[in-house]
A and B are shown apart, each in its own frame.
Chain A
Amino acid sequence: MSWRSIGIVYRKELIDSLRDRRTVISMIVIPVLAMPLLTVGIGYLSVSLIARARREVSRIMVLGGADSPGVVDALRGTEKIELAPESPDFATQLENKQIRAAVEIPPGFEAALKGSDSPTVTIFYYEDETRSDIAVERLNAFFNHLKGATVQQRLVAHDLPPGLAQPFEILSKNAVSPEKLFGNRFGAIIPYFIILLCMTGAMYPAMDLTAGEKERGTMETILCSPVPRTGLVIGKFLMVLTASLATAALALVSMAFSVVVVLQSKGVLDGPEGLRMAVHATSVFGVFAMILPIAMLMSLVMLTISLFAKSFREAQSYLSPMTIVVIFPAIFSMLPGVELNAKTALVPILNTSLVSKEILAGTFHWNYIVLIFASTCVYAALAMVAAVRMFNREEVLFRN
């Protein structure tokens, strides 16, 4: 085996892939266009949809309250609240979204406020429905305000100081660095995205360079050339790895660019109240360094599995379940309580997700970083041995 023959195979596969529209779409077009559309686009859309919902008036039904006209009138006069006529079928109306919430005012509510009773106001709503949640928020604000005013009136009525019911204030302030904030908020989801992108980027070339080549019949011709089998495997592997890393890198750059553009256009990044999150370039490079062995492992596993397939379609049906195998540990790493330890550091994908989360937060656990990097490299080396063996087995190369 020589670097020359590896270089030749790599060059050949690269030229061939770059001229193949399908590879270019999966390697360049999808990450550059689709990923920002999927993430930033959908995020932007959901934010604007919520903003629109907030601009709308909430239609609310008051149940009872005939003997509390002051409260009902105050509610009617509240901004962005509109009252619907009382009806016994309020639950059906809620389900049909004709009203967004219903509030039950108990009999003698107003009278009770003047005394010292504690009546209960019940709010009925449609759980997890955005417009209903907004209505509940508005009702809570109204009744909390009413509660505060009532307490003040009661204190005054008993000649007590207004501060009696409020012995102290609570103020919560973030004390961690912007890097930690970023790591905590996005540290889990970003490695998940990168790993997934590495896999999707590698999938098409892995199938095309093995099963696709078998299907086109060009495998025999390359096997007839003086290129050694190991050189052939490494050349093909390097091409798959290139596609994998290029897809992930392009998608990230494109996503980061879109996020900055969108936030800047909204003025979120300006002034002292600007986005209080940050990420260091060292962390980004660190994450990519940790992704490298896992991308190698995934590329080799996919190359080996696809080689076993007789056709591109068969390779697709073999590789589709692999998506679940990759996604599961990545999602597992996002669950609360799952942390980096000596055991999780040896589980591929899970270890990379967990360590990347820490790195993005600016924490470098060097012992784990070394262990994860080394163990994943060992797995990749084993996968390479398996791939070379497969390329040397004629019952795999000429399965029919």
Chain B
Amino acid sequence: MAPEPLIEVRDLCKYFRTFHRREGIWGGIQNLFVRDYRMVKAVDNINFTIERGEMVGYIGPNGAGKSTTIKMLTGILVPSSGEIAVNGFVPYRQRRQYVNTIGVVFGQRTQLWWDIAVVESFKLLRRIYGVSQRDFDARMEQFNVILGIKDYLHTPVRKLSLGERMRCDLAAALLHNPPLLFLDEPTIGLDVVAKDHIRHFLHAINREFQTTVLLTTHDLDDIEELCRRIVIIDHGRLLYDGPLERLKRKLLRTKQVKFVLKDRAQADGVQIFSSDGLNLEQVDEMTYRIRFDPAQISTSDLIRQILATVEVRDLLIEDEPIEEIVKRIYAGEALREITA
């Protein structure tokens, strides 16, 4: 028997009425008296299910409808049509009981109160969610081990760095031990070390507590590091839902060879690879990257040619970065291939 899905979304739609502003002075005067409203389909007939324990990346360009979906899934917005069932609840109808079973982190906002010490926010959230003091203490200890937040518990949120704040936000979202976590751009603006911390933490909670995670992001490294499955939406419509690997297999057009020259004298010889369907890029003084289509030239042939032309110290073969694939999907180039 197939496992019962934790999130079930059927024919989900959300329309917004937006005010269309006319241009110019005359338009401005007209706007005051005759309002021109238009309907915008923020989410247009989306279907997907997510199983317990999955980590799913929900991606799309700006204005694609990611945050609107998250807001409907968290019960803040009411769908225009369609059905949502999460944890056995209809989020917007049974909001109060439902939100006890989810954790939400909005990367650009904080649920911790700006001017008060982090620990005070945690205490308030403990009261809001009715977490017992014993569970609270145990969880704080746990979060401290994985997230290392003890040092700034008594600092006001406004004085924390973005990375520190995000760790505290994650702890706050998980204080009531929800089985499901929604993350809206959790690594936005973070440096490499902070991003790594967050990803490590998400892996840990997914592994230890089977916490289901649905995350929206623009950072595709997040997806590669955390998710096996991705859902891509654009203009409110679902473009792809499936394993990341399958997407790569379907859309992987190019490969790349990255190599480091033995000395500077070799640099002139490299220019020979800037033609014949090859794309040569200089990464730094001694490092070059050649992007190529394996259908036109085999990887082994290219490597042989490189080694025959220049002396290299190191050489690496890579797939096309996921960013490039997604860029092509957003641009509409790869739409036919993935929907095929």
> For chain B, what secondary structure do more than half of its interface residues adopt (helix, strand, loop), or is it mixed?
mixed
Whether B99 lies near A16 (C-beta < 8 A) is: no
Interface residues, chain A, with chain B CB atoms under 8 Å away? 4-5, 8, 11-12, 15-16, 19-20, 216-218, 220-228, 394-395, 397-398
Interface residues in B98-120 by Cβ distance below 8 A to A read 99-100, 102, 104, 106, 108-111, 113-116, 120
B96 close to chain A: CB less than 8 A: yes
- When chains A and B are docked, how far (Å) is the Cα of A221 from the Cα of B109? 8
Asked, given contacts A223-B76, A224-B75, A226-B96, whether A16 binds B108 with beta carbons under 8 Å apart, the answer is no
Q: Can you name the residue of chain A whose Cβ is closest to the Cβ of B176? A: A226
Interface with A: B124-132, B159-167, B222-230, B320-328, which one?
B124-132
Return chain A residues, CB-CB under 8 Å to B16.
395
Q: CA separation between A217 and B116, bound complex, in Å?
A: 17
Residues of chain B lying within 8 A (CB to CB) of residue A225: 99, 111, 125, 128-129
Of A8, A19, A220, A398, the contact of B109 (CB 8 Å cutoff): A220
List residues of chain B with CB within 8 A of the CB of A20.
115
Q: CB-CB < 8 A to A221: which residues of B?
A: 104, 106, 109-111
Contact A228 B96 (CB under 8 A): yes
Q: Using Cβ atoms and an 8 Å threshold, which residues of chain A touch B108?
A: 217
27 example contacts (A-B, Cβ-Cβ < 8 A) are as follows: A4-B127, A5-B128, A11-B124, A15-B120, A15-B124, A16-B113, A16-B115, A19-B115, A19-B116, A20-B115, A216-B109, A217-B106, A218-B109, A218-B110, A218-B113, A218-B114, A220-B76, A220-B109, A221-B110, A224-B76, A225-B129, A226-B95, A227-B128, A394-B76, A394-B77, A398-B71, A398-B77
| Beta-carbon contact of B100 and A226 below 8 Å | yes
Closest 8 CB pairs of A and B: A217-B109, A221-B111, A19-B115, A224-B104, A226-B96, A223-B76, A16-B113, A226-B99
Neighbour of A220 across the interface among B95, B97, B106, B116, CB < 8 A: B106
Q: Is B217 an interface residue (CB 8 A)?
A: no
Smallest CB separation, A227 vs chain B (Å): 6
User: Taking the nearest CB of chain A, how far is it from the CB of B161, in angstroms?
Assistant: 18
Collect the chain A residues with CB atoms within 8 Å of residue B97's CB: 226
Q: Measured between alpha carbons, how far is A222 from B110 in the docked complex, in Å? A: 10
Q: Is the CB of A8 within 8 A of B127?
A: yes
Bound: A354/B47 CA distance, A: 63
B114 & A216 in contact (Cβ 8 Å cutoff): yes
Does B249 sit at the interface, judged by CB under 8 A?
Answer: no
Q: How far is the CB of A311 from chain B (nearest CB, A)?
A: 15
Q: Is the CB of A224 within 8 A of B99?
A: yes
Known: A223-B76, A224-B99. A15 touches B128 (CB 8 A): no
Q: Which of A8, A16, A19, A394 contacts B78 (CB 8 A)?
A: A394
Beyond the given pairs A16-B116, A223-B76, A226-B128, 4 more chain A to chain B contacts, judged by CB atoms under 8 angstroms and listed by A's residue number, are A217-B108, A217-B110, A221-B109, A224-B104
Q: Are B111 and A222 in contact (CB under 8 A)?
A: yes
Give CA–CA (A223, B71) in the complex, Å: 10
Residues of A within 8 Å of B113, CB to CB, are 12, 15-16, 218
- Interface footprint category on B: 20 to 34
Q: Which residue of B lies closest to A11 (CB)?
A: B124
Please give, as numbers and ranges, the residues of chain B lying within 8 Å of A16 by CB-CB distance.
113-116
Contacts of A398 in B (CB 8 A): 71, 77
In whole angstroms, what is the CA distance A227 to B106 when docked? 18
B116: chain A residues at CB < 8 Å are: 15-16, 19
Q: Shortest Cβ distance from B39 into chain A, in angstroms?
A: 12
In the complex, A397→B16 CA distance in Å?
13
Which A residues are CB-close (under 8 A) to B99? 224-226
Which residues in B have their C-beta under 8 angstroms from that of A220?
Answer: 71, 76, 106, 109
* Residues in chain B near residue A395, CB distance under 8 A: 16-17
**Chain A residues whose C-beta falls within 8 Å of the C-beta of B109 in the assembled complex:** 216-218, 220-221
Task: Give the complex CA separation of A216 and B112 in angstroms.
Answer: 11
Mask: chain B, 28-72; 1 = CB below 8 Å from A; 0 = not = 000000000000000000000000000000000000000000010
Give the complex CA separation of A11 and B113 in angstroms.
Answer: 12
**What is the CB-to-nearest-CB distance from B100 to chain A, in angstroms, rounded to a whole number?**
6
Cross-chain contact B124 with A8 (CB below 8 angstroms): yes
User: A19 vs B114: C-alpha distance in the bound complex, in angstroms?
Assistant: 9
- Closest CB of chain A to B291's CB: distance in Å? 39
What are the residues of chain B within 8 A of A4 when measuring CB–CB? 127
Establish whether residues A8 and B74, one from each chain, have CB atoms under 8 Å apart when the complex forms: no
- Which residue of chain B is the closest to A218 with respect to CB atoms? B109
Give the residue of B74, B78, B124 whose beta carbon is less than 8 angstroms from that of A224. Answer: B74
A240 to B204, CA, bound (A): 43
Closest B residue, CB atoms, query A228: B96
- Looking at the assembled complex, report how far the CB atom of A373 sits from the nearest CB atom of chain B, in whole angstroms: 35
B156 touches A (CB below 8 Å):
yes
Tell me the bound Cα distance from A237 to B220 in angstroms.
43
Give B321 Cβ to nearest chain A Cβ, in Å: 31
Query: What is the CA–CA distance of A80 and B77 in the complex, to the nearest angstrom?
Result: 80
Q: State how many angstroms separate the Cβ of A25 from the closest Cβ of chain B.
A: 14
Interface residues of B in 293-323 (CB under 8 A from A): none
- Per the bound structure, the CA–CA distance linking A281 and B115 in Å amounts to 39
| Closest residue on chain A to residue B156 by CB atoms | A19
B263 CB to closest chain A CB (Å) equals 53
**Which residues in B have their C-beta under 8 angstroms from that of A227?**
128
Give the distance in Å from the alpha carbon of A362 to the alpha carbon of B162 in the complex: 60
Bound Cα distance from A221 to B99, whole angstroms = 11
B124: chain A residues within 8 A (beta carbon)? 8, 11-12, 15
B100 contact set on A, CB distance < 8 A: 226
A163 to B111, CA, bound (A): 89
B24 to chain A minimum Cβ distance, whole angstroms, is: 23
B38 to chain A: closest CB distance in Å? 14
**Interface residues in B128-142 (C-beta closer than 8 Å to A):** 128-129
